[in-house]
């Protein structure tokens, strides 16, 4: 797995202050994607064990972070590798929230064993392909109207898709 980019502090990819990991590789190839350079699974740098631990230690020791966000590419194309890293994070800092962006719809994720495992580790999943004709820059944390902010624990508890309700955003 490759890491396309890493931002230690951001307020754009979820609520609060977040560390953001951009995972290389995406086969959705959405027209109008803001980051087509991330589609290649070879883009960026190898996410070696050493680099994983370096970022993990930065995140764990950062007292002001509210969580992390997995972006891409699409992290669910590298679900097994991402799952390992997120588990380590959850063990060390269970107070941090985990958000993830994906072009898959939530219903697709839960039908695949590896993707479902990563989905269960997330608090919020922004799902759905970017659709240029549905573009809406007024929406918080997403680019097109078809994309949903899925509250994963509420969705699992009810069995129905529950979208995140953002107060004051």
Residue recorded with tokens 């890293």: 85
Listed in sequence order, the residues at least 6 apart from 133 whose beta carbon sits closer than 8 Å to its beta carbon are none
pLDDT at 169: 54
Residue 33 phi/psi, 5-degree rounding, is -50, 140
3-state secondary structure of 21: strand
Give phi and psi for 32, each to the nearest 5. Answer: 90, 5
Confidence check: pLDDT of 76 > 80: yes
| Average model confidence (pLDDT) across the chain | 96
Q: Looking at the domain assignment, is residue 147 inside a domain?
A: yes
Structural domain including 124 reads 2-158
Q: What is the pLDDT, as a whole number, of residue 128?
A: 97
pLDDT in tens, 31-58: 999 899 999 999 999 999 999 999 999 9
> 42: domain CATH number?
3.20.20.70
Q: Per the domain annotation, does 167 fall within a domain? A: no
Is 27 a domain residue?
yes
Count of beta carbons in the 10 Å neighbourhood of residue 51: 13
Give domain status of residue 72, yes or no.
Answer: yes
Instruction: Provide the edge-to-edge strand list for the sheet that holds 2-10.
Output: 45-46, 2-10, 18-23, 67-72, 97-101, 124-127, 148-151
Whether 130 maps to a domain, the answer reads yes
Number of domains into which the chain is organized: 1
Q: What is the pLDDT of residues 121-163, one digit of tens each?
A: 999 999 999 999 999 999 999 999 999 999 999 999 999 999 9
pLDDT for 165: 84
- Domain membership of residue 163 (yes or no) is no
pTM of the predicted structure, to 2 decimals: 0.96
Residue 74 inside a domain? The answer is yes
If DSSP codes are grouped into helix, strand and coil, which group holds residue 72?
strand
- Position 153 in a domain: yes
């Amino acid at each position: 797995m490759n890491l396309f980019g890493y931002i230690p502090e951001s307020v754009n990819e979820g609520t609060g202050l977040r560390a953001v990991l951009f995972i290389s590789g995406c086969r959705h190839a959405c027209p109008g994607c803001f980051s087509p350079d991330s589609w290649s699974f070879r883009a960026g740098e190898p996410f070696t064990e050493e680099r994983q631990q370096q970022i993990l230690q930065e995140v764990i020791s950062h007292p002001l972070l509210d969580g992390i966000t997995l972006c891409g590419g699409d992290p669910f194309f590298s679900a097994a590798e991402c799952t390992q890293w997120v588990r380590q994070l959850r063990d060390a800092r269970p107070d941090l929230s985990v958000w993830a962006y994906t072009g898959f719809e939530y219903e697709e994720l839960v039908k695949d064993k590896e993707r479902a495992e990563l989905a269960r580790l997330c608090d919020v999943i922004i799902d759905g392909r970017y659709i240029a004709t549905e573009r809406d820059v007024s929406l918080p944390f997403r680019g097109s109207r078809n994309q949903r902010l899925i509250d994963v624990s509420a969705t699992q508890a009810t069995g129905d898709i529950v979208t995140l309700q953002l107060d004051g955003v």
